Amino acid sequence: MSSGTAPPHVVENLHGVLQLFSDGSVVRGDESAIMPAGRFPDVPGVQWKDVVYDATRGLRARVYRPPAAAAGEGRKLPVLVYFHGGGYCLREYDQPMFHSCCQRLAAELPAVVLSAQYRRAPEHRLPAAVEDSAAFLSWLRAQGAPGAAAAEPWLAESADFARTFGTGVSAGANLAHHAVVRVASGQLVLGPARVAGYVLFSAFFGSVERVASEAAPPPEVSLTVETTDKFWRLALPVGATRDHPLANPFGPDSPTLEPLPLPPALVVAPGRDVLCGHMLRYAAKLKEMGKAVELAEFPGERHGFSKGQWSEATDELIQILKRFVRSCTNDSE
């Protein structure tokens, strides 16, 4: 005889690799089915290793440092904090496309790159990832403290914490924005480290009102409006809309950025991306507020191209990034 209780049913299905059920349970599948095609080569000479930055939550970061010849003997290097993408729901910091991208950034800037893991939704809805980014920056601050007893040797040897940059791709760019805002607003103290600038690659922002690139998507996009909406439903607090401050930095309930001493920003906007309008709006709003912002548009590129296979576009992007880092740090080399 039936008990009358219906079994849990799927309420959200993300590409068949993440299913959220009506009872709140989550089933994850193999993400390899939706991995980008192609090779993601290692960069000769770049060293990397994983470190734990939050033992309680088991969160790690991957540290990259360039070949000695690129770094220069005894030279301290800028620090790039990198947050991976995946709509706050998918991907991990150690997956091939992020791993290859971070190696290239380390070698060609050159810089010490730290790719930080964070908790993912829907098991850990926002603001969990934002809290993790704050925990990571607090760990980084401790690494840069004079005489730090447990300092990571590679950072002690090579990192110039006064030239720290927040970066990320897609959801990671959204996360980099919120981490930088926390520092600029004084909610998070970094000294002696200093955020010299931040870089948003294909930033994942949203709003209830559609931007032009969502209302009339460019041809052959790799990320659809349907998918971005699904990411937000899975990542935001239950019941929140896309105007939530974590999705829309210019929404009706979002604190204004105008009084904050934000560092210079580089906004990278691929044209064949439904989110392009949000990136253009972000850069325009910062400019209206008198903030230092550079917009780098790539009309022919798709969402997340910065971590894709190497191409003329990624070569150009590396050069833009090198100039930006140098301009923020008065490094003329």
The radius of gyration computed from the CA coordinates of the chain, to the nearest angstrom, equals 20
Our answer to whether residue 170 is catalytic in this structure is yes
Determine the Cα–Cα distance for residues 333 and 318; give it in Å rounded to an integer.
16
CB 295 within 8 A of CB 267: yes
Point out the catalytic residue in the list 202, 273, 278, 306: 273
Point out the catalytic residue in the list 170, 202, 213, 306: 170
Question: Using N-to-C axis directions, what is the helix angle for 128-144 and 171-184, rounded to 10°?
Answer: 60
* Cα separations in angstroms, 19 against 5, 45, 303: 21, 40, 23
Point out the catalytic residue in the list 84, 99, 178, 303: 303
Our answer to whether residue 273 is catalytic in this structure is yes
The stretches of the chain forming alpha helices (DSSP H) are 68-71, 96-108, 128-144, 153-158, 171-184, 212-215, 225-235, 276-288, 312-329
Q: Residue 302 phi/psi, 5° resolution?
A: -95, 170
Nearest Cα residue to 282 out of 203, 208, 189: 203
| Active site residues per annotation | 170, 273, 303
